[in-house]
């Protein structure tokens, strides 16, 4: 069975003064749930020794070179990260990252020994046009490398229109997309049934249990609600309850 993962993406938030939040989250252990935080790169080394999974939010395709302001997967690993996000919708939108670029960054993660959480999801226009599953198919085919495995890859479905808006799809819509992703992975990879599938998009304590009850939802990629331990810990507990 896919492992359960509660992942938090801090985005461009967090200073050294906020390390107490990570300590509080790390102190809360939940059986059968992997807890992971992707803080800004400036905090990775400072929290790498905590009993908590630490990930980067992005990486460059190259291991080193003249790429001012970028950070390589090897640098993330050296700082103490073990996972990295690739293809987040904010990277795709703000930096024009294509599926091919996401796949290249994912392979860079593999090269450095990092696990990749590959983010996919449709915009509101695409949802309203009835193109959701087509978009998902295109992103899966173009963003997930052929050497992906359940050990080195997690897929996060994040409908773009639900990120940070307070809106979420219906549980039927979540179930449809996650079942579709699972089938596509099973068709393509020998261990496709074991890839963890995360849902992301306005996940919070009040809706986590309902989301985690949906088939093929193995956890969540959480944004704003991961910035405070009091908001994130109930999400972890809700996920743990699905495993008991």
| Catalytic pick among 74, 97, 158, 178 | 158
Closest alpha carbon to 143 in 222, 218, 89, 199 = 89
Q: Which residue has the tokens 């020794």?
A: 49
Q: Each residue of 8-63: pLDDT tens digit?
A: 999 999 999 999 999 999 999 888 999 999 999 999 999 999 999 999 999 999 99
Q: What are the backbone angles phi and psi of residue 23, rounded to the nearest 5°?
A: -65, -40
Based on the residue annotation, tell me whether 180 is a catalytic residue of this protein. Answer: no
Q: List, in sequence order, every beta strand (DSSP E) within the chain.
A: 4-9, 33-38, 53-56, 83-86, 115-120, 153-157, 197-199, 219-222
Percentage, residues of the chain above pLDDT 90: 95
Is there a catalytic annotation at residue 158?
Answer: yes
Q: Rounded to the nearest 5°, which phi and psi values hold at 198?
A: -105, 150
Global pTM reads 0.98
- What pLDDT, on the 0 to 100 scale, is given for residue 244? 66
Instruction: Give Cβ neighbours of residue 86 (< 8 Å, ≥ 6 apart).
Output: 58, 59, 102, 105, 106, 109, 116, 117, 118, 119, 143
Which pLDDT score, from 0 to 100, does residue 80 have? Answer: 98
Domains and CATH numbers, the chain: 4-228 (3.20.20.70)
Beta bridge partners of 60: 72
The predicted-structure confidence for 169-187, as pLDDT tens digits, reads as follows 999 999 999 999 999 999 9
Whole-number Å distance between alpha carbons of 53 and 51: 7
Catalytic residue among 34, 88, 90, 122: 88
Span 132-154, average pLDDT: 98
**Residue 116 confidence (pLDDT) above 90:** yes
Whether 138 has a pLDDT exceeding 70, the answer reads yes
Determine the average pLDDT of the residues in 50-79: 98
How would residue 209 be classed by pLDDT, with cut points 50, 70 and 90? very high
Note whether 208 and 198 are within 8 A (CB): no
Percentage of the chain modeled with pLDDT above 70: 100
For the cut 70, the answer to whether the pLDDT of residue 102 exceeds it is yes
Given a cut of 70, whether residue 227 has pLDDT beyond it is yes
Instruction: Region of 200 please: left (phi>0), alpha (psi -120 to 50) or beta.
Output: beta
| Mean pLDDT over each residue of the chain, to the nearest integer | 97
């Amino acid at each position: 069975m896919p492992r359960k993962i509660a992942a938090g993406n801090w985005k461009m938030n967090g200073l050294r003064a906020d390390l107490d939040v990570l300590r509080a989250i790390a102190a809360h252990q939940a059986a059968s749930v992997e807890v992971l935080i992707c803080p800004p790169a400036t905090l990775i080394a400072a929290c790498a020794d905590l009993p908590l999974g630490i990930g980067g939010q992005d990486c460059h395709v190259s291991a080193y070179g003249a790429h001012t302001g970028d950070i390589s997967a090897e640098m993330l690993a050296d700082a103490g990260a073990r996972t990295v996000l690739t293809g987040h919708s904010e990277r795709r939108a703000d930096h024009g990252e294509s599926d091919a670029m996401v796949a290249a960054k994912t392979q860079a993660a593999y090269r450095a020994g990092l696990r990749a959480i590959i983010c996919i999801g449709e915009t509101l226009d695409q949802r309203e046009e009835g193109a959701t599953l087509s978009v998902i198919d295109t992103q899966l085919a173009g963003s997930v490398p052929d050497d992906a495995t359940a050990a080195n890859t997690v897929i996060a479905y994040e409908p773009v229109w639900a990120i940070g808006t307070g809106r979420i799809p219906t549980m039927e819509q979540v179930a449809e997309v996650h079942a579709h992703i699972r089938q596509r992975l099973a068709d393509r990879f020998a261990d496709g049934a074991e890839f963890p599938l995360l849902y992301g998009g306005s996940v919070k304590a009040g809706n986590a249990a309902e989301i985690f009850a949906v088939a093929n939802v193995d956890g969540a990629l959480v944004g704003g609600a991961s910035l405070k331990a009091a908001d994130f810990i109930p999400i972890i507990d809700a996920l743990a309850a699905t495993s008991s």
